[in-house]
Amino acid sequence: MTLETLSTNRSHGGTQGVYRHASDTTGTDMTFAVFVPDHAPGAKLPVLWYLSGLTCTHANVMEKGEYRAACAQHGIIFIAPDTSPRGEGVPDDPEGAWDFGLGAGFYVDATEAPWAKNYRMRSYIEDELPSVVLRNFPMADMTRQGISGHSMGGHGALTVALRTPDRFRSVSAFSPIVAPLQCPWGEKALSNYLGADREPWSHYDACALIEGGARVADLLVDQGEADSFLEDQLKTHLLVEACEKAGQKAEIRMQPGYDHSYYFISTFMAEHVAWHAERLKA
């Protein structure tokens, strides 16, 4: 598999790169960003994955997330994939809605036409992209991985980790969609990507997974109290209730005055990186 380097830039004592490859999983070219701190020859560095939210690409967190100084300080590789397949022939919402289709892959493997051919972000994130990283970034220690994300990406981070708990030592999220089975964004995406039968939807719902017995070692969530999506779409209280009922270790912090934007994410990003670093270096 050929990896094309689109750009590299020096930043905070490391290298921020953007790369593209032809994905067998999605049937499209896929772009992702990687920040690698400076390190001694032969050193192995832990990996922190970051999954972005609705309408985003790899570029949103790369340009506004303010993670590089913290990752350089703690010696952590930061990887930011795209949020959906893209390119000629990839289907999009026929009405041009921003919460479905391009930029809104919801980290699922779609089973319904016309989405099933390309919208396979679960397999891309869980299987193909880690293999690409392993082959092309020899300094990445794939035995020490953490995962984080924002909004739809927070949903992705939680569900990927809950389904594959042996892979991740640490899991965090900013403003995650915690119960897609119980919110308009989730119901729209899952019904279209997966069909009317709601049973398969539960594999993509953090609260349902926890209620079904899935666990992670530890969990950190930050949620802004001034987030306009909190009540109808994010429903953080459902995650609090699910974790308390199941005995899932979690620190879920409500942050007064903060909204859903990258002003919020960038404020707490360094804390999340440090939190992951403590667990990835143990």
Three-state SS across 224-268?
ECCCCCHHHHHCHHHHHHHHHHHCCCCEEEEECCCCCCHHHHHHH
CB 74 within 8 A of CB 277: yes
Q: Tens digits of per-residue pLDDT, 25-84?
A: 999 999 999 999 999 999 999 999 999 999 999 999 999 999 999 999 999 999 999 999
Q: What is the largest CA-CA distance in the chain?
A: 52
Q: Which of 74, 203, 260, 272 is catalytic?
A: 260
* Residue 227 annotated in active site: yes
Strand partners, 211: none
Q: What is the dihedral of CA 161, 166, 253, 46, to 10 degrees?
A: -100
CATH code given to domain 2-279: 3.40.50.1820
Is pLDDT above 90 for 160?
yes
Q: What is the residue extent of each domain of the chain?
A: 2-279
What is d(CA 203, CA 115) in angstroms, rounded to the nearest whole number?
18
Catalytic residue (choose from 151, 170, 172, 175): 151
Selecting among 205, 218, 222, 227, the annotated active-site residue is 227
Task: Please tell me the total number of residues recorded for the chain in this structure.
Answer: 282
| pLDDT at 1 > cutoff 70 | no
Q: What is the pLDDT of residues 205-252, one digit of tens each?
A: 999 999 999 999 999 999 999 999 999 999 999 999 999 999 999 999
237 is catalytic: no
Q: What is the mean pLDDT of residues 99-122?
A: 98
